[in-house]
Copies of this chain bind each other. A is one copy, B any other.
Amino acid sequence: MRLVTAIILLVLAVSCAKNEAGNGLQHPNLILTAQGVSLMRSSLGKVPLFDQSVEEAKQAVQSEMELGIEVPIPKDLAGGYTHERHKANYFAMQKAGVLFQITGEEKYAIYIRDMLLAYAEMWPTIGKHPAERSYARGKLFWQCLNDANWLVYTSQAYDCIYDWLDEETRIKLNKELFRPYAEYVSVENPQFFNRIHNHSTWGNAAVGMIGLVMNDEELVDWALYGLDLEVPGDFVKDNDGGAIQLEGQKEAGFLAQIDHSFSPDGYYTEGPYYQRYAMYPFLIFAQALANKKPELGILNYRNGLLTKAVYALINQTNAQGEFFPINDAQKGMSLASRELVNAVSMAYHYGGQDAGLLSIIKSQGRVPLNDSGLDAAKGVADQEVVKFPYKSIELRDGADGTEGAIGILRSKSLTLVMKYAKHGMGHGHFDRLGFLLYDEKGEVIQDYGSARWVNIEHKDGGGYLKENHSWAKETIAHNTLVVNKDSHFDGKVDEAEKSSGVPYFFSATPSVHVVSAKEPKAYKDVELQRTMAVVDIAELEHPLVIDLFSAQAPVGTRFDLPLYYKGEFMASNQQFSANNNLAPMGEESGYQHLWAESQAKLKNDLLQITWFNNQRFYTATSVIEDGDEAILTRIGANDPNFNLRRDPGLIHRRKSGNTLFASVYEIHGSYDYATERPLNLFSSISHLTVLHQSADYAAIELTLESGATYQFTFSLNDDSKASNHSISTSKGKIEWSGVYQFIKTEK
Contacts and interface: CB of A to CB of B under 8 A. Distances in A.
Interface of A: 79, 84, 322, 330-334, 336-338, 453-459, 462, 568-571, 576-578, 580-584, 595, 597-598, 610, 612, 632, 634, 636-642, 645-646, 648, 671, 673-678, 681-682
A188 to B, nearest CB: 28
Given A84-B677, A646-B646, 11 more contacts: A333-B676, A453-B570, A453-B612, A455-B677, A457-B682, A569-B642, A577-B640, A580-B584, A581-B581, A598-B642, A634-B636
A570 B456 contact: yes
Contacts of A595: 582
The 9 closest A-B pairs by CB, nearest first: A332-B673, A458-B571, A578-B640, A569-B642, A582-B582, A336-B674, A458-B570, A337-B674, A454-B676
Nearest to A276: B674
A640 B674 contact: no
Given A582-B582, A639-B578, A640-B577, A456 B612 contact: yes
B676 A330 contact: yes
Given A582-B581, A582-B595, A673-B333, A681 B458 contact: yes
A298 to B, nearest CB: 27
Nearest to A634: B646
Nearest to A679: B84
A676 B333 CA distance: 8
A598 B337 contact: no
Given A458-B610, A582-B581, A595-B582, A568 B678 contact: no
A637 B578 CA distance: 9
Contacts of A641: 571
A640 B456 contact: no
How many copies of the polypeptide does the oligomer hold?
2
Given A458-B571, A571-B459, A678-B455, A642 B637 contact: no
A79 B580 contact: no
B678 A598 contact: no
Nearest to A332: B673
A580 B610 contact: no
B678 A331 contact: no
A458 B611 CA distance: 10
26 contacts: A79-B678, A330-B676, A333-B673, A333-B674, A334-B674, A453-B570, A455-B678, A456-B671, A456-B678, A456-B681, A457-B681, A458-B570, A458-B610, A458-B682, A459-B571, A569-B642, A571-B641, A577-B640, A578-B639, A580-B583, A580-B584, A581-B582, A581-B583, A598-B640, A634-B636, A646-B648
A338 B454 CA distance: 43
Nearest to A78: B676
A681 B674 CA distance: 35
Nearest to A460: B571
Contacts of A581: 581-584
A105 to B, nearest CB: 26
Contacts of A676: 330, 333, 454-455
B580 A637 contact: yes
A634 B639 CA distance: 14
Nearest to A88: B677
A332 B674 CA distance: 7
A526 B677 CA distance: 44
Nearest to A615: B332
A636 B597 contact: yes
Contacts of A639: 578
Contacts of A642: 568-570, 597-598, 632
A333 B645 CA distance: 27
A675 B276 CA distance: 12
A645 B648 CA distance: 11
A615 to B, nearest CB: 9
Query: For A337, A641, A642, which residue has the most chain B Cβ atoms within 10 angstroms?
Result: A642
Contacts of A336: 674
A549 to B, nearest CB: 25
Query: For A337, A458, A671, A682, which residue has the most chain B Cβ atoms within 10 angstroms?
Result: A458
B580 A331 contact: no
A634 B84 CA distance: 35
A345 to B, nearest CB: 16
A468 to B, nearest CB: 16
Nearest to A592: B580
Nearest to A333: B673
A453 B642 CA distance: 29
A675 B580 CA distance: 43
A581 B455 CA distance: 31
Query: For A338, A569, A648, which residue has the most chain B Cβ atoms within 10 angstroms?
Result: A569
A185 to B, nearest CB: 22
A645 B568 contact: yes
A336 B674 CA distance: 6
A331 B673 contact: yes
Given A577-B640, A639-B578, A642-B632, A338 B674 contact: yes
A675 to B, nearest CB: 7
A640 B576 contact: yes
Contacts of A637: 580
Contacts of A677: 84, 455
A571 B453 CA distance: 12
A675 B337 contact: yes
Contacts of A640: 576-578, 598
Contacts of A671: 456
B459 A570 contact: yes
A581 B677 CA distance: 40
Nearest to A578: B640
A240 to B, nearest CB: 17
A666 to B, nearest CB: 14
A127 B81 CA distance: 76
Contacts of A576: 640
A496 to B, nearest CB: 27
